[in-house]
Amino acid sequence: MAEASIIRIPPHFYIHVLDQNTNIARVEIGPLTYIRQDNERVLFRPMKMIMVPPRHYCVIKNPAARDDNGQVLFDQSGQAKLRHADLEIRLTQEPFPLYPGEEVQEGVTPLQIVYPDTALRLQALLDFEEEGGERRVAGDEWLFEGPGTYIPRKEVVVVETIKATVIRENQAIRLRARKEGEDRGGVHRVTGEEWLVSKVGAYLPGAHEEVIDIVNAFILTDKKALHVRALRPFKDAGRRDRRTGEEWLVTKADREAHIPSVAEEVVGVVEVTTLSSRQYCVVLDPVGADGKPQLGQKRVVKGECSFFLQPGEQLEQGIQDVYVLSEEEGLVLRAVEAGVLRRPGDRWMLRGPIEYVPPATVEVVLRRQAIPLDENEGIYVRDMKTGKVRAVIGHTYMLTQDEELWQKELPPNVEALLTSRRDPLADRSDRGQGGGAEQRDKTRVVSYRVPHNAAVQVYDYREKKARVAFGPEMVMLGPDEQFTVLSLSGSKPKRPNVIKAICLLLGPDFFTDIITIETADHARLQLQLSYNWHFEVKSRTDLAEAAVLFSVPDFVGDACKAIASRIRGAVASVQFDDFHKNSNRIICSAVFGFDEKLAVRSSLRFSQNNLVISSVDIQSVEPVDQRTKDALQKSVQLAIEITTNSQEAAARHEAERLEQEARGKLERQRITDQAEAERARKELLELEALSAAVESTGAAKAEAQSRAEAARIQGEAAVNEATLKAEAQKIEAEAELQRLMKAREQELNYKKEMDRLDIEKQERLAQIESERFAQLVKSLGSDTLTEMARAGPELQVKMLQALGLKSTLITDGSSPINLFTTANGLLGALPGQGQNRESFFVFPLKKKKKTCHCVPELQLLW
């Protein structure tokens, strides 16, 4: 392109041509055919001019200087003058070229449209003066608010686009001043100051305002209030002065929706406190009438009501129910402050029936309820002033304000025996199995059911005396009484302190012991003995005799030791063989002793506690020495073997005897059975002969009977067939008769219906004809009918006058009529005619013709 000599420049195109002699570039604008000189050089191909359409702009860097008329200024050498490092914003104009040195910093760009509720925050880069005369200093900021089109300037830069914030109902926006000045409402603001705008609609912040947050209003209802605290001194929405840190409630009575201002903060939402008619509450540190909290005071609020707790107030124990006391209930009250009738610390009791709400000066210590007690039930009550404990038994009792339930402590072994489920009589052998223990109410009077034929000793430590209760009876302990626990020996052989019991069984019963003895020949034996025993009580009302029963703590162990000592002493003086043969006599005599008659006594009585041993049962005798035990076992086995052999021989002899007897019985039975079989065979042969005879005669008889029966059946079948045929014919005849009767009846009904329809038709036709005639007469009119009626006779009269006839008669021609004398009677004599009359003759005519013969000799065909 640079070497071409002829350059064709289209319209709206341009080129830069450099004069190499002067080193100056110029612009050539089309349409033009440019012839390049030798000293010139075209810097680029033809380039299209810059066209800025409407509502567009472009930014030119280093623009050419222009005069007041807009013409480009050139220096002395012919080169365009440039404003270096400057910018020029060009709007819509004719296409223009770029002069040498000009650059496009920003291409053709649409102008920015600022929509409604939108603004551009502008900042001045240079000092300048706007068209309206307002002067801007570098760093100034202002808004270009829409709607409109923003035309840029080189001295101004767009910082940001600001959109309006929509404020809805019960909303506000929180603004902060970025610079000291006036807000949109004309209020002077300092830097950093915050305020709220709550006007509903779109709010466009100013140039020196910034939106911090959108604040939603708190909707206040009858059940919700707002707890607010002041951050600095100000006047609230109710125009009341608030100090820093002051707290208050905003309720629905103040306003339905509350938007917190910038000088207050929301502590929380307070729910309404609702009390029913059966509820109350105690408010601590209540707020007085002056709005200040009364620290340390209380206020009782009774339902039915609803209220909000003021800041600083709190409920002592929440919402409480009103004390509704019945006749069996009461309240123990204590005064906490001095009153009219009470001093601080006084206790008293309020009994029902009553509804009670304690005032602020009274404290409810506890709620009492009457304790129902049966005849065998009771409680321990202690007087807190004196410390005295007593038992209340057998009636309903309510503790007073100075009384309390007292817990009676028992020894652990007694506690275990009372709470166990073992029956002292039925479960006396199950010592090792403890029943399921129940927790005892220690405030209840301790009771124990003494079983039948048993005794329980109770000792009163305050009175220093004991009492014995015989069963069956219910024993109830006083506050200072305790059970006497029996610790008896048990197991085999007897060991001490095995059995723990409260009640003493009086027997009869038994206990078993295992003792070891030694004979005179030093044979050691182990005996298992069972003793039957009982206590001998003559009078249960005698306290001294009853106390003797419990004088020996372990009567089982003492009795077993005493009896074992006697047996050992008696056995030590006899040989083993003698003891083995006479063990029962030796043991019984050793245990019971001899009376004055040298007879063995029947029982052994212990006078210390009236225990009586009535009998001794020797359950087993076993040697302790192994050799003695083996020898005794051999002798026993030998004796058993001898006895077994003798028993086997006797059994074998008896078996042979029984076998011989069985064989004889079998032979006799066989002979008897053969005789019976022969007799049965004879009877069988006789029966076979009789059966053959019966069979021969029975066949013929059966055949004859079958033929007779067949004939009888055929006859009966024929009779039945004839009867059925007759019945069938009768049914057919009856059916045909019914059919004919139905047909005749239907035909008769048809004729009746047709006649009825014909009559209705004739009546309808007659009615139609009469209606037609009536309508015809009505349509013709009376005058027309009169004229028609007159026209016929008049015409006849005229015709007769013209014909010279006096009268006429028309017949159907079926029979002749003699009218010689009738005419005068019919027509009468015409006036003015005198006595001249003429005769008429009427003759019958042929079919469909009527002939009227008149005199004189005139024939009229009609």
Assess if residue 214 is contained within a domain.
Answer: no
For 691-724, how does the pLDDT look when each residue is reduced to its tens digit (9 = 90+)? 887 887 777 788 888 888 888 898 898 899 889 9
Q: Name which of 124-133, 203-212, 277-286, 848-857 the model is least confident about.
A: 848-857
Identify whether residues 516 and 584 lie together within a single domain: yes
Q: Name which of 34-43, 178-187, 368-377, 624-633 the model is least confident about.
A: 624-633
Distance between CA atoms of 538 and 253, rounded to whole angstroms?
93
Q: Quick check: 401 and 429 in contact, CB under 8 A?
A: no
Domain that holds residue 20: 1-48
Identify whether residues 69 and 42 lie together within a single domain: no
Assess if residue 539 is contained within a domain.
Answer: yes
Greater confidence (394 vs 430) lies with 394
**Residue percentage of the chain with pLDDT more than 70:** 91
Greater confidence (804 vs 524) lies with 524
Identify whether residues 69 and 9 lie together within a single domain: no
- Return mean pLDDT, the chain: 85
Assess if residue 576 is contained within a domain.
Answer: yes
The residue from 61, 77, 110 where one domain ends is 110
Identify whether residues 517 and 598 lie together within a single domain: yes
CATH number where 77 lies: 2.30.30.560
Identify whether residues 7 and 72 lie together within a single domain: no
The whole-number pLDDT of residue 295 equals: 87
Identify whether residues 30 and 55 lie together within a single domain: no
**Closest of 403, 346, 348, 347 to residue 371, by C-alpha:** 403
Is the pTM for the entire model greater than 0.75? no
The whole-number pLDDT of residue 597 equals: 84
Q: Quick check: 178 and 210 in contact, CB under 8 A?
A: yes
Assess if residue 516 is contained within a domain.
Answer: yes
Identify whether residues 526 and 586 lie together within a single domain: yes
**Kind of pairing, strands 329-335 and 362-369?**
antiparallel
The residue from 624, 643, 678 where one domain ends is 624
Identify whether residues 42 and 69 lie together within a single domain: no
Identify whether residues 104 and 11 lie together within a single domain: no
Helix then strand then coil, in percent of the chain rounded to 5, is 25, 35, 40
- The mean per-residue pLDDT over the stretch 14-35 comes to 90
63 Cβ partners below 8 Å, 6+ apart? 82, 83, 86, 87, 88, 102
Q: Name which of 188-202, 409-423, 831-845 the model is least confident about.
A: 831-845
The residue from 562, 595, 624 where one domain ends is 624
Assess if residue 745 is contained within a domain.
Answer: no
Assess if residue 17 is contained within a domain.
Answer: yes
Q: How far apart are the first and last CA of the chain?
A: 136
Read off the amino acid at residue 292.
Answer: K
CATH number where 39 lies: 2.30.30.570
The whole-number pLDDT of residue 793 equals: 76
| Model confidence band, residue 806 (pLDDT cutoffs 50, 70, 90) | low
Residue identified by tokens 């102008």 is 111
Assess if residue 470 is contained within a domain.
Answer: no
DSSP E strands: which ranges in 20-115?
24-29, 32-35, 40-42, 47-48, 56-61, 87-90, 103-110, 112-114
CATH number where 535 lies: 3.30.479.30
The whole-number pLDDT of residue 830 equals: 43
DSSP E strands: which ranges in 137-272?
141-145, 148-150, 156-163, 165-167, 171-177, 181-182, 188-189, 194-197, 201-203, 209-216, 218-219, 224-230, 234-235, 241-242, 247-250, 257-258, 264-271
The pLDDT of residue 392 is above 90: yes
**φ/ψ of residue 49, rounded to 5:** -65, 160
The length of the chain is 862
Q: Quick check: 197 and 212 in contact, CB under 8 A?
A: no
| Model confidence band, residue 443 (pLDDT cutoffs 50, 70, 90) | very high
For 523-552, how does the pLDDT look when each residue is reduced to its tens digit (9 = 90+)? 888 899 999 999 988 888 888 888 888 888
Identify whether residues 8 and 87 lie together within a single domain: no
Assess if residue 36 is contained within a domain.
Answer: yes
The pLDDT of residue 433 is above 90: no
Identify whether residues 79 and 15 lie together within a single domain: no
If one counts the domains in the chain, the total is 3
Distance between CA atoms of 163 and 141, rounded to whole angstroms?
16
Read off the amino acid at residue 372.
Answer: P
Q: List alpha helices for 531-625, DSSP H.
A: 543-548, 555-571, 576-581, 583-592
- The mean per-residue pLDDT over the stretch 186-192 comes to 89
Q: Quick check: 144 and 150 in contact, CB under 8 A?
A: yes
The whole-number pLDDT of residue 176 equals: 92
For 229-262, how does the pLDDT look when each residue is reduced to its tens digit (9 = 90+)? 999 898 888 888 888 888 888 998 888 899 898 8
For 499-516, how does the pLDDT look when each residue is reduced to its tens digit (9 = 90+)? 888 899 998 989 899 999
**φ/ψ of residue 192, rounded to 5:** 85, -5
Identify whether residues 6 and 103 lie together within a single domain: no
- Planar angle of CA 746, 747, 749, nearest 5 degrees: 65
The whole-number pLDDT of residue 540 equals: 84
The whole-number pLDDT of residue 847 equals: 39
